[in-house]
Amino acid sequence: MDALPAFLVDAPRYLFLTGKGGVGKTSIACAGAVALARQGRSVLLVSTDPASNVGQVLGLRIGNTVTRVPSVDGLSALEIDPDEATSAYRERIVGPVRGLLPAAEVRLIEEQLSGACTTEIATFNEFTALLTDDVLTGRFDHVVFDTAPTGHTIRLLQLPSSWTDFLDEGKGDASCLGPLAGLERQRTVYAEAVAALGDPERTRLVLVTRAQRAAVAEVARTHDELAALGLRQQHLVVNAALPEPRSGDALATAVHERERAVLATLPPALAALPRDVLELKGDDMVGLDALGSLFEAGQVAVPGDDGAELPPLPPGARSVADLVDELAAQEHGLVLLMGKGGVGKTTLAAAVAVALAERGLPVHLSTTDPAAHLAQTLEGTVPDLEVTRIDPAAETARYREHVLRTKGASLDDAGRAALEEDLRSPCTEEIAVFQAFSKVVNDGRRRFVVLDTAPTGHTLLLLDATGSYHRDVARQMGPAATFTTPMMRLQDPGHTRAVIVTLAEATPVLEAEGLQEDLRRAGIEPWAWVVNDVAAATATTDPLLRRRAQAEVVQIERVLRRDSERCAVVPLLTSEPVGLAALRDLARPAGARLAG
């Protein structure tokens, strides 16, 4: 590697890579950390993503402790494991009272500390320690953060200010933070974290995107939100841009031209940032050899560039239309689109919802994704289709207003002030979003509900809250009671069809398999998989796309053999699937080979 990309030149101590899921943050973070280490710097690579795959990219096992990468001098890595962080956090709170309180009360405290809010705070405490604890990170010249998808990252970066404000305004309900005696120390740590994040001499934000309209729109929102938080030292990295085709292939030419058009019309705030454009590679970015090529320009020569046919799609690969046919026979229920960010969940959710509605079936299309763009994807209305969004800010405001109007109605001024203080806790959002999610889940009893979920890690936290609520209800009702909780509806295959969406690449498939195992542990059996943006499902003659197609077929075979016999394949398209006409095309019956 001859020269560093612009975002690594004169790099400050802390580098944060953020952006829409699936744009390549992990690959770029890993490649950047390796590049800095090979420049003779000591580097710590950290993942704050609840669905981290840093270990998969580097080809070694990484956990919740600093682990040296043996093949790269000066490089260490750490994955903040939410489960381990939560267990350690919970033990710090419960440990001192174990043996002093009755066992039943200790179990109740542990149950109260098992929700998504506790996980968020525990993970956040690990994150702030990396910004403030010189004993932990003082020996490193650089700390490179591979963050969770955008909405989750914005929430994480807002937390130092949120908790500092909460502590400044009054202690309120400190159950999420731990014993009251530790609050002053927490206040100091959070204030130091805020200072580090806002100091351009110490911190640089790297906004990663693809040359796609939705990804650019989201990264523009991220730019504004981070600037509002005081993080103004930003760079832009456009990943996986298709090089100018030399083949004359219609699909490759169309994709290249639409990506060029996106880059030529960047919003002014993004266009003004220092920028790197990284070219699409023929191989998956897994392993040090692949990472070493990520910042190199120029197409890699493709063996066998003789116009040979593409490999056939594996037997058993279906179309989205096949899945819709099977869904429509049920006439109602919850269709849950899940997976890594950036794999096309929003588009596929919209396509399925439109296809069902145009069969005359009532459909409710909704999303739990903080960075959702359903309206932009649809660009129109359809009879029998209602579109909503579970907006965390709106749901939290609605929940606070309801609590004050009901519980607060009988309180005196002091009591109402205390209640308002409690409702300013960041944990209030967890309750509000869970309640809205529960209503959507139950709505599937009378019509189809197609739910576009947030990226994997954020969704698992929401499911964790659902499971905590179920356990709490079960404990209070007793073993003889009859009841139905949202978790029970999610676990009911007659009510819920969970569809895992992924790309035909090694890392997204591995992560999707991890999601499937998490769902199974929660008692939710995935119903189908959808593999999106498949060059092997087109008639391309472009050598770079054909090279990618060879690897895609291997991944689709893996899904059909190991993961799900019900697997639909969506071809790489010449234009982004936006608008009703394009969405209808996605769910139309298709042959084994589509032109895109």
Report the catalytic residues.
22, 24-27, 49, 507
Closest alpha carbon to 205 in 257, 157, 247, 136: 157
Q: What are phi and psi of 539, to 5 degrees?
A: -110, 30
Tokens of 224: 């504004």
Q: How many residues does the chain have?
A: 596
Question: Can you name the residues that pair with 448 across neighbouring β-strands?
Answer: 333, 363
* Tally of CB atoms within 10 A around 459: 27
3-state secondary structure 447-476: CEEEEECCCHHHHHHHHHHHHHHHHHHHHH
3-state secondary structure of 334: strand
Which residues have a Cβ under 8 Å from the Cβ of 528 and sit 6 or more positions away?
A: 323, 497, 499, 500, 564, 566, 567, 568
Query: What is the rounded CA–CA span in Å between residue 505 and residue 542?
Result: 18
Candidates 349, 373, 351; CA nearest to 212 is 373
Instruction: Round to the nearest angstrom and report the end-to-end CA distance of the chain.
Output: 35
Sign for the pseudo-dihedral over CA of 212, 267, 340, 434: negative
Sheet holding 67-68, edge to edge: 67-68, 75-79, 43-47, 142-146, 14-18, 203-210, 234-241, 275-279
d(CA 443, CA 456): 23
User: Which amino acid is it at 197?
Assistant: L
CA distance linking residue 36 with residue 142, whole number of Å: 8
Query: How far is it between the farthest Cα atoms of the chain?
Result: 82
CA 411 to chain centroid, in Å, comes to: 41
Residue position matching structure tokens 């992560």: 511
CB 403 within 8 A of CB 419: yes
Task: Residue 11: name the closest of 194, 202, 226 by CA.
Answer: 202
Contact 255, 240 (CB under 8 A): no
Structural tokens at position 450: 């197609």
Cα gap 531→208, rounded to integer Å: 23
∠ Cα 76 78 79 (to 5°): 155
Is residue 299 classed exposed, middle or buried when 0-12, 13-18 and 19+ CB atoms within 10 A define those classes?
Answer: middle
Please, which residues bridge with residue 238 across strands?
209, 277
Residue for token pair 């145009």: 358
Cβ(176)–Cβ(118) under 8 Å?
yes
What are the residues whose beta carbons fall under 8 Å from the beta carbon of 282, sequence distance 6 or more? 300, 302, 544, 547, 548
